[in-house]
Every structure is written in structure tokens, then in C-alpha cells.
Structure 1
Amino acid sequence: MLFNPPLQAARLIKRYKRFLADVETPQGEILTIHCANTGAMTGCATPGDTVWYSTSANPKRKYPHSWELTHTQAGDWICVNTAQANALAAEAINENRIMELSGYTNLQREVRYGSENSRIDLLLQAEERPNCYIEVKSVTLLQQQGGYFPDAVTLRGQKHLRELREQAEQGQRAVLFFAALHTGIDRVAPARHIDAQYADLLAQACAHGVEVISYGAEISSREIRLATRLPFSLR
């Protein structure tokens, strides 16, 4: 995924009210930009980090600039715009970069499914194969080189696990896809220390046929792409 138009850089002053951040441009201008990330963003929003932001041409937007990437003072790149995870996964599947999800002829996004009335992130279909339901999660919490999900208690994520398990029990293919959008992450695990219920539900889902696939990203101010399979463990 290329960033077009190119992103611009600024220094992070602070993130606040969950959806807003103040940054200082190289010219000394203070901007308030939108942050499309509802999570805790632990380690992704340290004052002094470099923020890379996009700018919308929509004149109706109150905050035309959007926070896309963080380049930390430790040298790691992080995609903080969680809305990009689904697009990155779909792009990688369409380009046959996710071998575990190859061989399907049709990809749909945001399809209603499940007894709890959710929308699946990605639905893959092919003749003479079960449907493949894929829930995509963005992983940006780095602790001791490991990536953990979630970074805050997620009732919505718990519901998704129940619905994936339901699909697996009905004979469909159900996949939880972790997109590790932090270049410091080299493995993925559930964050039991943050949301024990999520970790328990994930273990139960795996025991009933839900697959877990984890991929890491190559990130720069110019481009981001899912590239490398990462190990996953339940602990």
C-alpha cells in the first residue's frame, strides 16, 4: 500500500480525547490532527516521536489531517491507523502473499454473519470449498519483543471470537488474522494480563477449529505491506 499523496512529518506533542493529537511541524506550526485509533496506543504515542500524517481534500472535515504512522525514538515504525489493517490484509491476499489464504476466487468485505449480527472483515469463497471467514486485528502493543492483543479490554473482540467459533463448528473455515503493524514485533500472543476473558475465549476458539494466522509488516513513510509470517502462541 503506497501512501498517495505522500505523508508529512511532525513531532508529537500529545494525544488526548482518544481521537485527537497535537503535533508540531518542522516549520513550527502546531496542528491538531485526527487519530483513528480507539485503543490505549501503549508505546505508540510518546511525546517527541515522529508522527506521519495524511491530509484529506474533503473541505467538510473539521480536522483534515489524520495520524497514520509513528516513527519512535527507538527506531520502530508503527501503523496507528487501525482502519488500514483490513485493507492491508485484503491487498496481501489478492496479491497471493498470504499462502495460507490462497486459492479463493472471491473476496468480500464487511459481510453480515453470525448469531450476534456482526460484520466479518473478509469473506473468501471458491467453488467446492467451505467459506473462509476472516477477522482481522491490528497488533501494535510491543512488550519484550512480543506483540500482544488486545491493548485494552475488548468486548467487541470477545464477540468476534464467539462468532468465529460458531462458524468453525458449522463446518466453515474461520480465521483470526493478526496484522502486526509494529516493526519491533517478532511474535504474537494474546494479552492475558490485559484481557483474560479474551485470552480464554481465544483458547476455546482454537480448540474448536478456529485458525490463527499472524503476519508482520514492512513500514516506511512511503509504503506499508504485510510481508512475513510470525509465530503465534496462546501463552
Structure 2
Amino acid sequence: MKFPEPLVEGRLIRRYKRFLADVRLPDGTEVTAHCPNTGSMLGCKPDDARVWLSESDNPKRKLRYTWELVETAPGEFACINTARPNYQAREAIESGRVVELSGYRQCKAEVRYGEEKSRIDLLLSDHDSQPDAWVEVKNVTLAEGGRGYFPDAVTTRGQKHLRELMAQVAKGERAVLFFLVNHTGIETVRPADHIDPDYGELLREACSAGVEVVAYRAALAGQGGQPSGSLTLTESVPVILEPSRPEL
């Protein structure tokens, strides 16, 4: 998938109140953009970082701009808009680029399920030889020394999702944790034991119970030190479950 319009470049002034970010545009104008990310955004809000905003002409919107991309280090880009990964994953699955999940003819989003009253990101069905696949998508943007980590903050919600996935496996269906790597500097994905050890422990338990884990990276890097504007998933990324410390 691609952004619908060319993005507007600026410089990050600050992110605050979780959903707001002040940005300085090239002409010096300061604007407030919607920050569509409820996480800590650890590593994704450096001082004076180059950022890219999408622009809306909808008169009903309170904020004209939405923060989409950030340059976390020279030549490295991350997509911080957590509304994007589900669409990215769905497009890649339906186009056959995710080999682990190929062959399904139907895909539904936000389906209610589970004893803990969750919604699955994607439910794949109508496969000739495979049971239905319940797919939970997680956006990975925390990069430390080339390693990608999830989560970037303690997540009781993420732990709930792992329990729900294990329950689906127990019913004889497929359950898949899909790490969508929206950071060009990430070469591997690992559980962030140094941030949320309970999540890391539960993830390993889930894998032992039969939950599948895959990771794919988006093509965000363009030419001349600019992001490409494309959110298309292009390659798989290894997932390493052994406990580790970040390379600082």
C-alpha cells in the first residue's frame, strides 16, 4: 500500500498527550499533528527528527495533519501510525506475499472472539487443507543495534492477545502472531525482555503451545535520503525467541 498523497516533511518539536505532536514545516510554520500511536514510541521521537505528515482536506477534522513517518537515525525510517499495519498485513496476505499464510480465500478484520472478549486483527478462512487462521498483527518500531524489539512498553493487552491465540490453537485452529516490521534498521525481531519480561515469557509459552510467529518488513527507504512512501511488505525477518539484552 502507498500513502494517498505526497507526504509533508517537517521537524519534530515534541510529542505530548499521547495523540499530539508539534512539527515545524520547512517554511517555519509550526503545526499540531495527530499522533496515531498509543505506545511509548521508544526510539521513534528523537529531538528535531525529520518527520513526514499526511494531509487531509476534510473540514470536519480537528487536525489537518497526521504523523506517519520518522527518521530515527540517518537514512533509517519508521512508520509510527499504528492504524497502518493491519492494512499492510492484509494486503500482503491477500496478494500471496506471505508464504506462511497463502491459500486462504477469505479474510475478515476485527472479528470478536475469545473468553477475554478480544477482537482478532485478521481471520483467514476457506483454505483447501488448512484450518482457519487467527492473525494478531503487531507493529515493530523499536530498534536497538539492528535488533527489533516488541513491545516498547509493558503491555497487558498484548499478553491477553497471546492467551487468546493459545486458546484458538487448543481448539484445533491456527493462531499466528504477525510482527510487522515498520523500521528499516531492523534485521531481526525479539521479545523485549528488558522492557516486559512477562510478555517475553508468555510469548515463548505460546510458541511452545503451537502459536506461529512470523515477521515481515515494509519497504520504507527511498532514494536520496527520503522515505519511499510505500508501505508494501517485501521480505521476511527472522524471529529470535532466546532471551537477550539489547545491543546499546
Same topology, TM > 0.5: yes
Contact 2:174 2:211 in 1 (8 A): yes
Structure 1 range deviating more: 102-111 or 223-232: 223-232
Q: Distance in 1 between matches of 2:16 and 2:230?
A: 27
Matches within 5 A, 1:179-218: 179-218=180-219
- 1:74 — aligned with what? 74
* Cα shift at 1:189: 0.6
- 2:224 — aligned with what? none
- 1:45 — aligned with what? 45
Residue 228 of structure 1 pairs with residue 235 of structure 2: yes
* Cα shift at 1:134: 0.2
SS in 2 for 1:83: coil
* Cα shift at 1:73: 4.0
2:61 partner letter = R
SS in 1 for 2:219: strand
Contact 2:219 2:228 in 1 (8 A): no
Q: Distance in 2 between matches of 1:74 and 1:127?
A: 44
* Cα shift at 1:226: 1.0
- 2:9 — aligned with what? 9
- 1:118 — aligned with what? 118
Structure 1 range deviating more: 202-211 or 219-228: 219-228
- 1:59 — aligned with what? 59
Under a length normalisation based on structure 2, what TM-score does the superposition of the two structures give?
Answer: 0.92
Q: Distance in 1 between matches of 2:229 and 2:35?
A: 19
Contact 1:12 1:21 in 2 (8 A): yes
SS in 2 for 1:5: coil
Q: Percent identical across equivalent pairs?
A: 54
Contact 2:111 2:122 in 1 (8 A): yes
* Cα shift at 1:7: 1.0
Residue 83 of structure 1 pairs with residue 90 of structure 2: no
Residue 132 of structure 1 pairs with residue 133 of structure 2: yes
Q: Distance in 2 between matches of 1:145 and 1:117?
A: 36
SS in 2 for 1:72: strand
* Residue segments in structure 2 that go unaligned for 5+ positions in a row: 221-226, 243-248
Q: Distance in 2 between matches of 1:39 and 1:74?
A: 23
Q: Distance in 1 between matches of 2:73 and 2:183?
A: 13
Distance 1:73 1:143, change over 3 A: closer
Matches within 5 A, 1:86-97: 86-97=86-97
User: In the TM superposition, what whole-angstrom CA distance separates every residue of 1:108-136 from its partner, at most 9, and x where no partner exists?
Assistant: 00001111111100000015531100000
1:145 partner letter = G
Contact 2:103 2:127 in 1 (8 A): no
- 1:142 — aligned with what? 143
User: In the TM superposition, what whole-angstrom CA distance separates every residue of 1:62-117 from its partner, at most 9, and x where no partner exists?
Assistant: 11210000123421010000110100000001111101110001000000111111
User: In the TM superposition, what whole-angstrom CA distance separates every residue of 1:28-54 from its partner, at most 9, and x where no partner exists?
Assistant: 100011100111111111122111101
2:62 partner letter = K
Q: Following superposition, which runs of at least 4 residues in structure 1 exceed 4 angstroms of deviation?
A: none
SS in 2 for 1:224: coil
SS in 1 for 2:199: helix
Q: Distance in 1 between matches of 2:47 and 2:201?
A: 34
Q: Distance in 1 between matches of 2:127 and 2:19?
A: 43
User: In the TM superposition, what whole-angstrom CA distance separates every residue of 1:185-208 from its partner, at most 9, and x where no partner exists?
Assistant: 000010011111111111111111
Q: Give the alignment's Cα RMSD to 1 decimal.
A: 1.1
Contact 2:178 2:214 in 1 (8 A): yes
2:120 partner letter = I
